[in-house]
Structure 1
Amino acid sequence: MNTFKQRILTLAMLAVASAPALSQSPTVPMPVPDEASIPKGPMGDAIKRGKALLTDTHKQLPKNVGNGLNCTSCHLNAGTTAHASPWVGLVGAFPEYRSRSGKVISLQERINDCFQRSMNGKPLAFDSAEMNAIMAYMKWLSTGVPTGTNVAGRGFEKIDTSLTPDPVHGKTIYGAQCASCHGAEGQGTKNPQGGYIFPPVWGKDSFNVGAGMARMYTAAAFVKHNMPLGQGGTLSAQDAVDVAAYFTQQPRPDYAAKAKDWPKGDRPKDAR
């Protein structure tokens, strides 16, 4: 193990040892800083670069993105929308134990998880200019959030995992509520620049089977709170589960490393 990785691991262990679990920590409102507060100079430039990388990922990082998505395809409004896995407060939440990894991971590792799974691509070097810019943006977004506190709206809204999915009904909902943006065949809606106005939800340009969004109940939680875009909350929990059961099971890229997920045996029932 090289010196840099040793240092990251040591910091992670110290942070976990000295900080309470977020589930036991107080929840605070999710503040979103005004862009006017971005400082001038090199740090401000890095923050702006980080936002550009996260909102235009497919174009900005073609060597690391293997599909047609941007990070903000799921982390809506540049990572500032509650229950759309916002980035506000994340800097103070990591290192964190992740059951899928079966270990404590850094925020850089979590970011690379998304590159390899949701973006079906390749990880960034921990000490790269791009990773540092992304971290700078997330640090700025976390301004005013005390370290070790949980931010209201973090992750996705909870969904009833006891609901029995009906993918046939889900196909009907998809055709009526989703296809106008995401395409009848899940292919998304492209823009003139070759990217996507609305992302594909299955097929070669979508997230792979190792992504969190490929899990039915995770996708259902996102859909219920955020979809259709601008009309979040209009679908019932059952409808959200049904439509997620339909589109998560459609063809998409594989992820060979998924065989190493949940090494401690606590694999969720909807894991691909």
Structure 2
Amino acid sequence: MTAPASQLKKLAIKFRNLIYWLINYQLYPGMYFREIYRVRTFHGQTPGIGRFQGKPFHFTDGLGFLGCIKELFKEECYFFESKNEAPYIIDCGAYIGLSVYYFKTLFPNASVLAFEADPATFEVLSKNIAGQQLSKVEVFNKAVWDKETELTFFAGNSMSGSLVVDALNKQNPIKVKTARLKDFLNRPIDFLKLDIEGAEVEVLRDIRNDLTQVERIFFEYHSIAGKDQALGELLEILTQAGFRYYIQEAKNYAKRPFMGLAKEGYDLQLNIFAMR
């Protein structure tokens, strides 16, 4: 390769890398180039601290941290408006607390109940709530369920821990305490978030008669391979409670569905938004 050709190739690579980072920079508002690159080097369940909006946040894995920033602060999937200046929000599956921070950014006077089942993730969540000095936030190291008890919890990784399925086949079960969500629906709720990795079916069945207290709700629906699907039942629960819903595909598990669905773990995952 001649010298000019070699120089052109190097320039092309630099230009491609620049475009890549410009695109990624737009995906993570509130973070600098160098910080995005640094956080991406934390692979797997490697804890660390990242700077977002000029503030330090603890995380359990770098890609999960960046993914939450993109989802919450770029896409603003949970954005809502309220006439209530101090809304009451219940965040089930609060992960490391970025969703709580987002809600408190939207509504500084909001009261937030945050549930996180995984003990290691809960420790990080607690650090971030304290570090950001978020007031009127109550955190619980419990999984939400249809009764108070103690259940096996598949830790998986920090974003996919579940009471109902070992989605990543990590074979890493632990015991966790549960809280009955129904017991917390005794007052008007402006926003209820259920990101509880498959437990939404049992929980929604249990709270169906209490949803009149809820103004808007988000939940992820997980279809577990080989088990009866409950999507129709859950949508009927929403309809009977007076909600109108909107559905997005959360993850594509089958690019060619007629050639077969997943044989283990989840075979369908949807984001469901319901409002009055």
Q: Same fold (TM over 0.5)?
A: no
TM-score, normalised by the number of residues in structure 1: 0.29
Which protein is bigger by CA-based radius of gyration?
Answer: 2
Answer 1 or 2: higher relative contact order, Cα 8 Å, separation at least 6.
1
Structure 1 or 2: more strand by fraction: 2
TM-score, normalised by the number of residues in structure 2: 0.28
Structure 1 or 2: more helix by fraction: 1
